[in-house]
Amino acid sequence: MKIKFLLSSILLCVFLNVQGQQSKIAKTFNEVLQIISQATGTLRDLGSTTIVINSTSKAYFGGGHTRGTVQVQLPRGTEKWFYRITVLDVKSTYSYQSNESLYYVLKNNLSDNSYRPTTDGVDFFLLGTSGDAASFGQTGNNNFTYIDGYNHLNYNSFCEGSNIIQDNLWIGVRNNNKVEGLKVIVEVVAYGHFY
């Protein structure tokens, strides 16, 4: 009986520890703002990239790509980093104004102003090596590895945070829409005590 109780207590502690570690990852924009507001470090804008990804039918018949990747180069001293994914119609010429960028919004603790002009979604993956990014980039290849817990299927525009800090990181987006091509804006901001 005592062994059962002891074993149950240990498992409960392990579960609570894992839950506590997972809660440190910001999953909503408000959680991102809360982390920033309580922090003593600084933010660094790592830029914005726009990816154009074809529909699956156009990629099949026209030779285009249904996937795109962005390399994330975190500066030394990064403790957490945040990204915003904005999904647009492929013909859109939209870009965020400087006072709407993810960096500006986080720096000034403003509310979520993500633009969502379409209901279409993309599949999102955080990739841990350049080899994973290369495999992911091959249209039709479903044999790629991503970092567990950092994937979303059929998501529209969103903002999220990560505490995965390593030298080789990539964001991958995939369009599964058979008819509509999409344009995706990927913004990345690092937080930390930079040297």
Domains and CATH numbers, the chain: 25-192 (2.60.120.680)
Two tokens, residue 32: 């991102």
Sign, CA torsion 76/130/161/189: positive
Band the pLDDT of 29: cuts 50, 70, 90: confident
Band the pLDDT of 24: cuts 50, 70, 90: very low
Q: Which string of DSSP letters, residue by residue, matches 28-42?
A: SHHHHHHHHHT--SE
42 with 80: CB under 8 angstroms?
A: no
Distance CA 18, CA 161 (A): 17
pTM, two decimals, is 0.81
Please check the confidence at residue 35 and state whether its pLDDT lies above 90.
no
pLDDT of 12 reads 34
pLDDT of 102 reads 94
Please check the confidence at residue 2 and state whether its pLDDT lies above 60.
no
Please check the confidence at residue 20 and state whether its pLDDT lies above 50.
no
pLDDT of 187 reads 97
Task: Return the exposure string of 23-54: e unless at least 16 CB atoms fall within 10 Å of the residue's CB, then b.
Answer: eebbeebebbbebbeeeeeebbebebebbebb
Q: What share of the chain in percent tops pLDDT 70?
A: 81
Band the pLDDT of 11: cuts 50, 70, 90: very low
82 with 45: CB under 8 angstroms?
A: no
pLDDT digits (tens, 9 = 90+) for 45-95: 999 999 998 877 666 666 678 899 999 999 999 999 999 999 999 999 999
Please check the confidence at residue 152 and state whether its pLDDT lies above 80.
yes
pLDDT digits (tens, 9 = 90+) for 92-123: 999 999 999 999 999 998 877 778 999 999 99
Please check the confidence at residue 37 and state whether its pLDDT lies above 90.
no
Tally of CB atoms within 10 A around 4: 8
